[in-house]
Amino acid sequence: FLALLIAEALTAQTAEPPLELSSNMYRGSVVAGGVTMRVDENVVVIEGMTEGLGARMGQAIQDAALDNERVKNFTACGYTAAFPAVYMEHTPRRYTNVFGAITMHGSNEDVQTTLWFDNKGYHAIPVIVNLWNNARLRLLGFRQARVQAWSHPLPKTQARLQEELSGRGQAMTDMLVAVTVILAMGFIPASFVVYVVHEKATSGKHQQLLSGVSPVLYWFNCYAWDMVNFLVPLLLCFAIFLVFQVGAYSGSNSGAVFLLLLTYGACMSPLMYCLEPLFSVPSTAYVTLIVTNIFTGTVSVMAVAVLEFYQHEVPDLVPTLNVLKVLCPWFLPNYSLGRGLMDIAVNHYKNFAFEEFGACIHPGGVCFKDPLAWDVSGHYISKMLVMAPVWLAARLLLEWGCCA
């Protein structure tokens, strides 16, 4: 659940929605330009003239404001000096809590208007200009007319979208999702060892062997029962992937995600059995294996990801990276799970670039790859399928004392 929240929140957006610009967007606490500002009165200050054209302009500005916009007539407070010096002197708190002002000065026949804005607000200039334009409409007699200002971001270019979808930022998001899934799934295989250690500690396993149950039948029975139990959290986890509808882990990618989770359980369970001889207390075994699963999974995934980030800047890291890429999928199923999810997500973004923009950004000029392709998730699934009987055979060898 947490992993998909991260994916939904941090996935690169292909387009930004338009934004209506009005002064009420600055009401309350506003974070603008990295600075948090408190705005109590939107476009607040109109200062200047009390009669003639200046007075009509001041009234037009007030009439042009929306119902929920607060426009404060500064002259009505009794101050007639130039803005902003006196306003800062008499109301310093209010001055810092507004985003713009309109001042008027001059004679009744020649009114000069100045628009002030707080540069912490990115949209302050078009907002204050739009308010002034609506006020001019009122002065011209168009009292029912209104100008609406919108910010329409340009569509992202192919180069920028490619950078966002396959760059380091998106790779870090995919790594966070993978690590979070490893944290959750690491608890399940570790719990399978609890009952095995308990039977050994209470001589329950010994009684079964004395009654004629062969070691092969005993361990195959444990394996079959644990796989049935693993299907319950697997289906729940897979259902969450489907419900969230995060593109990288649903739709055409759902089959690869399901097989990755299934083969993880099939390979991880016998690997946990191989560590059972190290423990005699069930609770100790459970806690130790949880920590081991989480540590080995997160460290291996993050280590390979970091080495990939800097392999071009530090070429000496490439041999180490290649060794880890060869060994980790065979001996660490939790690495295969996390890294497989990352590669499925990266492949999804590259396929999306081709479907939406016709850009072929896969290595070798390939335009589209199936998520079950060998170099996406196929080799992780295949290696876990191969290692599952290997780990189970290793546990039987330990049972027969061949590796003691």
What is the pLDDT at residue 75?
A: 53
Q: What is the pLDDT of residues 284-336, one digit of tens each?
A: 999 999 999 999 998 998 899 889 888 888 889 899 999 999 999 999 999 99
Residues in the chain: 404
Q: Is the pLDDT higher at 180 or at 192?
A: 192
**What is the SS3 assignment for 60?**
helix
The region of weakest confidence among 147-156, 368-377, 390-399 is 147-156
* Distance in angstroms (rounded) separating the CA atoms of residues 188 and 156: 42
CB-based contact 351:358 (threshold 8 Å): no
pTM of the model: 0.64
What is the pLDDT at residue 390?
A: 95
Q: Helix %, strand %, coil % for the chain, to 5?
A: 65, 10, 25
What is the pLDDT at residue 77?
A: 43
Burial zone of 17 (CB within 10 Å; 0-12 exposed, 13-18 middle, 19+ buried) = exposed
What is the pLDDT at residue 62?
A: 74
Task: Quickly list DSSP for 74-112.
Answer: SGGGT--S-TTHHHHHH-HHHHHT-SEEEEEEE-SSSEE
Q: Which residues contact 277 (CB under 8 A, 6 or more apart)?
A: 398
* Distance in angstroms (rounded) separating the CA atoms of residues 309 and 24: 43
What is the pLDDT at residue 274?
A: 92
CA 104 to chain centre: 48
Q: How many CB atoms lie within 10 A of CB 80?
A: 12
Q: Which two structure tokens, joined as six digits, stand for 372?
A: 């079950």
Q: What is the pLDDT of residues 169-187, one digit of tens each?
A: 555 666 677 788 888 888 9
Q: Which two structure tokens, joined as six digits, stand for 151?
A: 């910010």
**What is the SS3 assignment for 148?**
coil
* Distance in angstroms (rounded) separating the CA atoms of residues 225 and 229: 6
Angle at 384 between CA 368 and CA 237, to 5 degrees: 75
Beta strand pairing status for 111-117 and 100-106?
antiparallel
Cis peptide before 84 (omega within 30 of 0): yes
* Distance in angstroms (rounded) separating the CA atoms of residues 64 and 56: 12
The region of weakest confidence among 41-55, 191-205, 357-371, 386-400 is 41-55
Task: Quickly list DSSP for 211-238.
Answer: TT--HHHHHHHHHHHHHHHHHHHHHHHH
What letter would DSSP give residue 142? Answer: -
Which of 167-171, 342-346, 349-353 shows the highest mean pLDDT? 342-346
Q: How many CB atoms lie within 10 A of CB 302?
A: 15
Q: Which two structure tokens, joined as six digits, stand for 79?
A: 């101050």
Q: What is the pLDDT of residues 220-253, one digit of tens each?
A: 999 999 999 999 999 988 888 888 777 778 888 8
What is the pLDDT at residue 118?
A: 74
What is the pLDDT at residue 165?
A: 56
CB-based contact 195:391 (threshold 8 Å): no
* Distance in angstroms (rounded) separating the CA atoms of residues 301 and 178: 8
Segment 89-118 mean pLDDT: 67
